[in-house]
Structure 1
Amino acid sequence: MLKKILVTDLELGMHIHEFCRTPGSEVPWVNQIEVPLNDIDELQRIQQSAVREVWIDTNLGRPASALHQPQPAAPLDNTAPASLEKELTQAKLIFGRAKAAVMMMFTEAKMGRAMNVADADLLVEEISNSILRHPHALISLSRLKTSDEYTYMHSVAVCALMVALARRMGLTDDQVRHAGLAGLMHDVGKMMIDPEILNKPDRLTPEEFAVMKHHPEAGLKILEEIQQVNAMVLDVCVHHHEKMDGSGYPHGLAGDEISVYARMGAICDVYDAVTSERPYKKGWGAAQSIREMATWKGHFDEKVFQVFVKTLGIYPVGALVRLASGRLGIVIEQNEKSLLLPKVKVFMSARTKRPIEQRLVNLANAQDHDTILKVECPEDWGITDVEELWSGMKSGSLTQ
């Protein structure tokens, strides 16, 4: 029996019948057929390539029973819940492929060629499935991108944030998919901006910023030429810099003049921007970013912003917190039933500033008898590896 699956769902022991061709997937093995998958290095090369989907033969590979009978340890559903650790591994693979795909799509746009919407849809599906398996892994991991890859990976991160926010808001599956595509395409107009301005390592001058402010309308022009693009995607592209008080651009819309999707885009775009490392500024932590954004009156839709906060958690994954017990810890996992009681990995004494034995504390468990007192700034404690503490990866290693 033949079955089409995403390469992220490939496992050792499967038999690849055929690789699915897509633009950018011209790799040595794409012309191969009937490939038994028994080597871990080969599996990783395929998953890190531009190939997105393959046909597997369940008769020649893994036993049909292993693929089709209910087995808790190996669920068929590629949206089944996963642990943070497992999904971080998958998310890194997704980011590697996403960077190449977005670079290709944006380059096509810059050269005046039609972008491949089918590739974009498939990428949104991969991202959406990751969020269904674990709602925080891919979003949190996106903060590890470097300033050099910001232009492209920012679009991937905003896509993930839009998908997660749309799901939290209870939108339909089609609306979630369109929201993700809007996040992926919202900055395509930046490809029309002078590279010296777009990639400038310092803050823009007022004159340069005036040029940069043309990117939403440039993006709209590009997307309008693609007949398959949904109206929501066009709307978010041109209006994600509008503000509720009317002080945004390019049209100075205010209040109800701004669609709910553009309001979502504005929040997701800013959050990823302020949490990202740039040549001229250090990214804020997730918790600090939420606190700061909450003070920007007139900028965001307050109701949508509150849903966004619930999407990430009051204490987002990666937040450094001080506990009532006198320990410092890093938030590892959210507790959906109580956003104030996440799982925290403790690793330092707040009194002595010395390391302690690392252990996971579930604040929702009464026997742990601990609570969060406040969010801390890593620099105040001389902590430079805060991202590595929760992800196991160093900052800047996202697509390496």
Structure 2
Amino acid sequence: MIKVKSEHWDQSVIGRTLANDVISDSGHFLLKQGMVLTNWHLSILQNHLIEDIFLMDMPQEPLSNQVEDIFKHRENISIIYKESVVEVKRLFQLAISREVPSLQDFMKPFTPLLESVLKGPNIFLELRHIKGHDEYTYRHSLNVGLLSATIGKILLLPIDDILQLGRIGFLHDLGKMKVSPQILNKESKLSKNEFDEVKQHTIYGKEMIAMMPGENEEIEYGALCHHERLDGSGYPYGLKGDQIPFLSQIIAVADVYDAISSDRIYKEKHGPLEALDELLLEVFKGRFNSEIVIPFVEHILYGYIGNDVLLDNGTKGRIVQLFKEEIRRPLLKVGEEFIDLRKKRDLHIQEIFIAPSLV
């Protein structure tokens, strides 16, 4: 690790890796340890009058090569993902038309995708590049499996738990195959009877997984409990606190995040910052575990600094700083000016344009 003072910040530090988090004098997070420095990052540091930074000792691969590799990785994930959706649809439909396939059969289209995202860039950002509202149930199953495993990685869980989170998340909604599509895709509010039928999908899922060969009790229970909430307001049993397995608590967070931020036939996705805000609200209400949600939210937020955004008035800007107390309203740079969305309540972020993730 080497300390570099601001007067020595030139092209020689571009492409080098930060050895520590950078925090402003006012206590706001600026850059994350492990980020590969760009000219934009240097401008952020200079704007906040940061005097020195710490860099990793060994020079990194040239930044242009890293960006090229990331675009190739992103394209590869997109191809694998689209192929996986087709196979997942076949397997899920097979599970209700004939006998339930084995866990090994279910994992075949999922495992390559899981392995790819676990060793690649930020999956939360990558998934937003894969557009489309068709085949929602199958996309959602893949997404929740990938997100759940990545949350496990963020929380530094053992690799066996990370892989198990992927399996549980992937199969968490298998029981929806036994719920009427007319109910699942209904645009208007569900009646009490219809909602009661939807809630049965957790029990259906457990039963279908139990029919698979082998010992899959943890996966069964994960599918059963992913709608339980810490305050007892969930279903099917109204479990509370530690009665809900920790892995199921992670699945619940991934499930809600993807549901809020995904396209559907009858619902456009919310903005990514709005989805994070909703998760924090669930923590405030006592429904979600803060030890899961806070690291999850912080990890995603770090990836958005330096990305371009489109406001609802058509203006384009770039995220300079995020505020945890109002994560939907960051500080933006628009041209040569700065706009603090906390003070411009009439403006809202419509979309974030995701640059290649180097963290």
TM-score range, shorter chain: 0.5 to 0.7
Letter matched to residue 317 of structure 2: L
Give the gaps of 5 or more residues in structure 1: 1-71, 74-79, 332-345, 352-370, 393-400
Instruction: Tell me the residue number matched to 1:303.
Output: 291
State the distance in 2 between where 1:245 and 1:319 align: 38
Instruction: Tell me the residue number matched to 1:271.
Output: 257
1:320 aligned counterpart, secondary structure: strand
> Aligned match of 1:255 in 241, 248, 251?
241
Superposed displacement of residue 269, structure 1: 0.1
> Paired residues, what number?
277
Superposed displacement of residue 380, structure 1: 4.1
Superposed displacement of residue 161, structure 1: 0.3
Letter matched to residue 313 of structure 1: L
| Identity score, percent | 27
Q: Deviation string for 1:106-148 (max 9, x for gaps)?
A: 1111114122422433444322322233231465324644332
Q: Deviation string for 1:151-208 (max 9, x for gaps)?
A: 1100011011011111112222222111101111000000000121122233323321
2:354 aligned counterpart, secondary structure: helix
Letter matched to residue 300 of structure 2: L
Structure 1 residues 207-356: aligned runs within 5 Å: 207-228=193-214, 230-296=216-282, 297-314=285-302, 316=304, 320=309, 328-329=317-318, 348-349=334-335
Is 1:166 the counterpart of 2:130 in the alignment?
no
Superposed displacement of residue 348, structure 1: 5.0
Pair 280,327 (structure 1): closer, same or farther in 2 beyond 3 Å: closer
Q: TM (normalized to structure 1)?
A: 0.60
Superposed displacement of residue 86, structure 1: 2.2
Instruction: Tell me the residue number matched to 1:102.
Output: 88
Pair 232,112 (structure 1): closer, same or farther in 2 beyond 3 Å: same
Letter matched to residue 239 of structure 2: L
Pair 264,381 (structure 1): closer, same or farther in 2 beyond 3 Å: closer
Structure 1 residues 37-186: aligned runs within 5 Å: 83-137=69-123, 140-142=126-128, 144-186=130-172
Superposed displacement of residue 234, structure 1: 1.3
Instruction: Tell me the residue number matched to 1:199.
Output: 185
> Are the aligned partners of 1:145 and 1:153 in contact in 2 as well (CA < 8 Å)?
no
Superposed displacement of residue 217, structure 1: 0.2
Superposed displacement of residue 149, structure 1: 1.9
Q: Higher relative contact order by CA 8 Å / sep ≥ 6: 1 or 2?
A: 2
Letter matched to residue 221 of structure 1: E
Give the gaps of 5 or more residues in structure 2: 1-60, 321-331
Letter matched to residue 289 of structure 1: A
Is 1:390 the counterpart of 2:354 in the alignment?
yes
> Are the aligned partners of 1:105 and 1:116 in contact in 2 as well (CA < 8 Å)?
no
Letter matched to residue 134 of structure 1: G
Q: TM (normalized to structure 2)?
A: 0.67
Superposed displacement of residue 303, structure 1: 0.9
Superposed displacement of residue 382, structure 1: 8.9
Superposed displacement of residue 224, structure 1: 0.3
Superposed displacement of residue 279, structure 1: 3.6
Superposed displacement of residue 300, structure 1: 0.5
Q: Deviation string for 1:8-48 (max 9, x for gaps)?
A: xxxxxxxxxxxxxxxxxxxxxxxxxxxxxxxxxxxxxxxxx
1:299 aligned counterpart, secondary structure: coil
Aligned Cα RMSD in Å? 3.6
Pair 229,83 (structure 1): closer, same or farther in 2 beyond 3 Å: farther
State the distance in 1 between where 2:131 and 2:211 align: 31
State the distance in 1 between where 2:318 and 2:184 align: 38
